[in-house]
Amino acid sequence: MRNIRLLLRYDGTRYSGWQSQEHEENTIQGRVTAVLERLTGETIRLAGSGRTDAGVHALGQTANFRTESALSCEELKMGLNRYLPEDIAVYSVEEAELRFHSRLNALRKTYRYRIWNSPVHNVFERKYLYSLEQELDEKAMEQAAARLLGTHDFRAFSSYRRTKKSTVRTLEQIRIERRGEELRLEFTGNGFLYHMVRILAGTLIEVGLHKKSPEEMDRILVSLDREQAGFTAPAQGLCLVSVEYADGES
């Protein structure tokens, strides 16, 4: 038995997210699994490092699967990229230890949210940006971001209605970077809840528009109430940048 680790990139625009679903075949996981089964002749259970939502993109999604196939890693890589659609690419295929699991062994993840902050449309990258004309107060956004760092119960920043699982996460870093007319928000943490990054982005945008103050972040966290946080920013601006593991790889 072999355990194979994949590094994927994809444009999530036309997919219903990463996770395979009953009655929904158009997912990243579903497309990759179908090609792997074609190549190996086996039933494949593909695990991903996390579930990106419908319309969300990835530069560094990690996945793994077990197989009895004798195909080399290079043969698997060539076969995957031959049969996958053009908006999904496999950049790396490697042997992993049998105990490796792309989700359970992940130490931290980094997501990037891109905002096109200009009244002039970005014609060529519009599918990968959230377009916002109003000027943003970046200093206020940085102050709010600082209050969100650390280990907290982020239930207020999640779309979970009911869950028995812990909603405590550690947010290690939020970077806010201006690149001309583009504003980038990068979030690094040990894990993220359903819609958490998009709600964090929406909340910081509301701070930047002076609809919320930086000081309100403390109250929102303590409230555990989704209604207190900001809007859920649109999916197309979000990208999973990297997933880090103890072996130093991502």
Residues known to be catalytic: 53
Which residues, 6 or more positions from 236, have their beta carbon under 8 angstroms from its beta carbon?
Answer: 13, 55, 56, 57, 127, 128, 129, 130
* Whether 191 contacts 185, CB under 8 Å: no
The C-alpha atoms of residue 173 and residue 242 are separated, in whole angstroms, by 14
User: Which amino acid belongs to residue 144?
Assistant: A
186 strand-pairing partners: 112, 175
Q: How far apart, in whole angstroms, are the C-alpha atoms of residue 156 and residue 226?
A: 4
Whether residue 216 contacts residue 188, with contact meaning beta carbons closer than 8 Å, is answered with no
Pairing of the two strands 2-10 and 88-96: antiparallel
Closest CA to 109 of 178, 200, 184, 173: 173
In terms of Cα–Cα distance, which of 42, 32, 43 is closest to 93? 32
